[in-house]
Amino acid sequence: MKGEYIMLNRVLVTDGMDASAVAKLRADGCEVVEQFYEPDALGNALRDFDAVIIRSATKIKEPQIDAAKGSRLKLIVRAGVGVDNIAVKYAEAAGITVKNTPRASSNAVAELALALLFSCARNISIAGHTMRENKWEKKAYSKGFELSGKTAGVIGYGRIGRMVGAKCQALGMNVLSTVHRNKPEGCECETMKFVSMDELLSGSDIIILCAPGGDKALVDGESLAKMKDGVVIINVSRGSNVDEAALLDALNSSKVRAAGLDVWMSEKDPNWALAQHPAVSCTPHIGAGTKEAQKRIGAELVDIIENF
């Protein structure tokens, strides 16, 4: 294993990495270059590295892989859960291994989902905003709701979804989820059941998105029509899982009572009308943004590089 590790002696980090993890790789003899490249320049830059570590800001798709094909690049690592910003099969067909860190950030993302939910339930975001404008709007924002006894529909019951479900149950909530394959064992109980998607949509007071991004939005006009009036939407998964125009319309009509959003269709230029809506609590994709999660991610990245 030591000989294989030495082959990965030049590593590019494009979107930042925990300082202690960078120091560990350098202590192991790796040359670590921390630099962001624009998409047009990234592919050629990758040719000079054995491995690249990216987050969500960097995308390695077919053009970048074509430019790097046949070079020294052997490994792409996504510092996070989702790998939809990488053309995984295309990279692997070109002889480049793709890895991620699925465990390290799960709890941080799950906790943010609950933070956004609390904010939606008690109007924390808008109430705090008005107070910063020297307004005392107690009557307007004293019409929140309690989470205990409510039903949360968690779409995507992987590592993050299961943590969200467990935290919701600890708050006295009931949990519904759907499973298309690889049903997790030991989850179902009196307060957690797997149901059809239509049952989840119609039976949930709150919809929490924890699923990978796909070709079709999970929250769109069609699915919104099946939900309860006054439903709350939380998205800590991928921006593509929500049709932002449909959600904005549903907020304006009060079909959706409130939304908590950490991810966006465009992160450089998000839907500002949606972000500024008084019923929206929002953050700029900070799901994994805790000191603890970043240290865990860094340690997992080092382990991947060392054991490649």
Q: Which residues are catalytic?
A: 238, 267, 285
Strand locations in the chain (E)? 10-13, 31-34, 51-54, 75-78, 97-100, 151-155, 174-177, 192-194, 206-209, 231-235, 256-261, 280-282
Instruction: Please name which of 201, 193, 207 lies closest in space to residue 226, comparing C-alpha atoms.
Output: 201
| H runs (alpha helix) in 171-243 | 197-203, 221-226
- Map residue 83 onto helix, strand or coil: coil
Cα separation, 124 vs 260, whole angstroms: 11
DSSP for 89-152, written as a single string:
HHHHHTT-EEEE-TTTTHHHHHHHHHHHHHHHHHTHHHHHHHHHTT---TTTT------TT-EE
Asked if 141 and 126 touch (Cβ cutoff 8 Å), the reply is: yes
Per the DSSP assignment, residues forming a β-bridge with 5 are: none
